[in-house]
Structure 1
Amino acid sequence: MDVQLEASPSQDEPIMEYLSVEVCAENLDESELRIRIGNHVKYIVIDPGLIDPYIICFAPDFIPLIRPLLPTGDWTSALVFGNPESLTIEPLHRPLDGVRSQWHTNTVEVLDLTILSRMSDRLNEVKFGLPDQPVVAVSKFSCFEWEIYRVEQETEVYRALAGHGIGPAFLGHLAENGRIMGFLIEKIKGGRRADIGDLEACQKAVRRLHALGIVHGDLNRHNFIISLTGEVTLIDFENSWLEGTHEEMDFEYDNLSAQLQEDEGRGERRFKFADEGEEEDSYSRTELVGLAKEPHRECI
């Protein structure tokens, strides 16, 4: 979603800025917001049926409604409940779940990033580091607790890939108030998407991946970046898993030729930036179990 600011806060009130929004379009399940208030990030969970989803998604309407009700003091997350005529908001006094796999030595706070371009709700091209030595990278994160497993799984895959030159370099963990909720990876410069003429080179890259026991899970041609010298970089390990079976790897390898000839636009947005991305209709074994338990969520 595009960043939204409230229309005009009073002079003594900090600006409130939408960072992430997840709503239930049917208003049958909780809606969740991640909001920046001054220099702090807050999470607000709204019980279903209280506020029109269209109002929740539009900051100039929602923020004036919720600002007078916000808790005072030190809080990170709060719950909105009650009835439409009389809303109540109370802080939730517990830490938010984060990524447990913290294996890299570098950790960067999300508010220290400068966003250069927004590639999706969870994916940005960013800049961080010293002003005279900035690093351009790709950030990927899952801010809400119900989606943390996505980054948890991918972080573990990057641990297994470290030093093998198969995917983008892992540059560090992404934190928010100390809570790990994403990661930073190398920005792949240049390159093109793969086609059937790159089959042999792509097969070699996949064999190297499988030698580590990793099944990619989404080997469409947009997830291969071919450099000017013909080197192959695999991207997008969100649907990957470790300790794959020989049958799973053989199936993935045998279908590679067909995947490289497919041209239905899968992954095209992520290739536009030659970076990491997400494909919504392809899931790992773990995700298929999780999806069966998830409510329908979207930002409308």
Structure 2
Amino acid sequence: MLNAEIDSEEESYYRFLVDDQHVKYVTIDAKLYPCDDMGFAPALILQLPAFPAGDWNVGHISLNPQTGHPYFAGTTRNQLPGVEHIWHATCIDYLKLTLREKIRSNVCEATCPQLDGTVVAKFARFHWEISYLDAETTAYEWIQGQGIGPKFLGHLTEEGRVIGFLMERVVEGRCAGPEELEECREVLGRLHQLGIRHGDVDKHSFLVHEGRALVIDFEAARKCEDPEALEKEMGSLEGPLGDTSGRRGILSVDEPTESVEV
């Protein structure tokens, strides 16, 4: 089980790796399995019906009305959406990554043969997240070479479609706090000088290291020619830097440290 988006009352969505080479997206109807097992890969996988053979990437598990047991009600080979704005020369297959520490539900440290050292991978776990990654990929092209965000290292692919990107790992980088207000204003100001509004500024939108701030998380970034909107974003910065709510905690069940065969 690579990723899961679990709902105890509605359908749940899973991303599985089968035979170390095939990614399968499986929807499971509500209340087929105990809630405690839905996010615990070893327990859930033991209860799943056998994965059908054949060339498919999208499946649906429902209750078989004849047997009363869960079964694959259907499988299809779908053309899944991918990031459309592809601008960097480097493309790296997700399955070539060795995943390390998880940062957020769709962000983790990783290594791969094509790049030196540890990098950061950010990707769409499910199809509805593609648009956010597309917007962020576009924003990284806008700021390329400006020293505003981490270096963009390449596109991340899955079966040929782009699902995310790889970026520089900022060693010992941390979220900004109130004491880094001026550093954050400086780098946000340089983003605004390019005519770009970040769109979701808070303490987690900045990485601070050795007195320098970088902007991250460009999913909501847009070109902006309205000086008042940019000024308003700058003016809103001080409050979020003091936020202690931790609202960007890990919200989903993802990438267990031990792989489980399906």
Q: Is residue 24 from structure 1 mapped to residue 7 from structure 2 by the alignment?
A: yes
Structure 2 vs 1, CA of residues 263 and 78 (structure 1 numbering), >3 Å: closer, same or farther?
A: closer
Structure 2 vs 1, CA of residues 259 and 43 (structure 1 numbering), >3 Å: closer, same or farther?
A: closer
Letter in 2 for 1:94: N
TM-score, with length taken from structure 1: 0.74
TM-score, with length taken from structure 2: 0.83
Instruction: Give the equivalent residue in structure 1 for 2:259.
Output: none
Among 49, 71, 74, which residue is 1:88 paired with? 71
Measured after TM superposition, the shift of residue 154 of structure 1 is 1.2
Which of 186-195 and 166-175 deviates more? 186-195
Percentage of matched positions with identical amino acids? 35
Measured after TM superposition, the shift of residue 171 of structure 1 is 0.5
For the residues of structure 2 that align with 1:191 and 1:146, how far apart are their CA atoms?
Answer: 29
Gaps of 5+ in 1: 1-17, 268-278, 281-296
Instruction: Give the equivalent residue in structure 1 for 2:141.
Output: 159
Instruction: Give the equivalent residue in structure 2 for 1:54.
Output: 36
Among 232, 241, 244, which residue is 1:264 paired with? 244
Measured after TM superposition, the shift of residue 158 of structure 1 is 1.0
Measured after TM superposition, the shift of residue 61 of structure 1 is 3.0
Among 19, 24, 30, which residue is 1:38 paired with? 19
Among 193, 218, 227, which residue is 1:211 paired with? 193
Partner SS state of residue 155, structure 1: helix
Measured after TM superposition, the shift of residue 99 of structure 1 is 1.5
Letter in 1 for 2:158: E
For the residues of structure 2 that align with 1:212 and 1:153, how far apart are their CA atoms?
Answer: 16
Check the 8 A contact 1:139/1:184 in 2, yes or no.
yes
Check the 8 A contact 2:49/2:71 in 1, yes or no.
no
Check the 8 A contact 2:49/2:70 in 1, yes or no.
no
Structure 2 vs 1, CA of residues 24 and 190 (structure 1 numbering), >3 Å: closer, same or farther?
A: closer
Letter in 1 for 2:82: G
Instruction: Give the equivalent residue in structure 2 for 1:6.
Output: none
Among 103, 125, 146, which residue is 1:119 paired with? 103
Gaps of 5+ in 2: 255-262
Which of 191-200 and 108-117 deviates more? 191-200
What is the correspondence of 1:1-300 to structure 2 with a 5 Å cutoff?
18-26=1-9, 29-39=10-20, 40-68=22-50, 70-83=51-64, 85-89=68-72, 90-129=74-113, 134-191=116-173, 193-228=175-210, 230-243=211-224, 245-260=226-241, 262-266=242-246, 279=248
Measured after TM superposition, the shift of residue 180 of structure 1 is 1.1
Letter in 2 for 1:172: G
Check the 8 A contact 1:124/1:139 in 2, yes or no.
yes
Letter in 2 for 1:25: S
Check the 8 A contact 2:8/2:30 in 1, yes or no.
no
Check the 8 A contact 2:8/2:31 in 1, yes or no.
no
Output one character per residue of 1:169-218: Cα deviation in whole Å (capped at 9) or x when no partner: 11111111112111111101235554445444332211210122221123
User: Which structure has the highest strand share of the two?
Assistant: 2
RMSD, aligned α-carbons: 2.6
Partner SS state of residue 85, structure 2: coil
Letter in 1 for 2:122: K
Check the 8 A contact 1:222/1:266 in 2, yes or no.
no
Structure 2 vs 1, CA of residues 299 and 203 (structure 1 numbering), >3 Å: closer, same or farther?
A: closer
Measured after TM superposition, the shift of residue 111 of structure 1 is 1.2
For the residues of structure 2 that align with 1:120 and 1:193, how far apart are their CA atoms?
Answer: 13
Structure 2 vs 1, CA of residues 246 and 25 (structure 1 numbering), >3 Å: closer, same or farther?
A: farther
Check the 8 A contact 2:135/2:219 in 1, yes or no.
yes
Partner SS state of residue 191, structure 2: helix
> RCO greater where, 1 or 2, for CA within 8 Å and sep 6 or more?
2
For the residues of structure 2 that align with 1:220 and 1:166, how far apart are their CA atoms?
Answer: 16
For the residues of structure 1 that align with 2:240 and 2:31, how far apart are their CA atoms?
Answer: 43
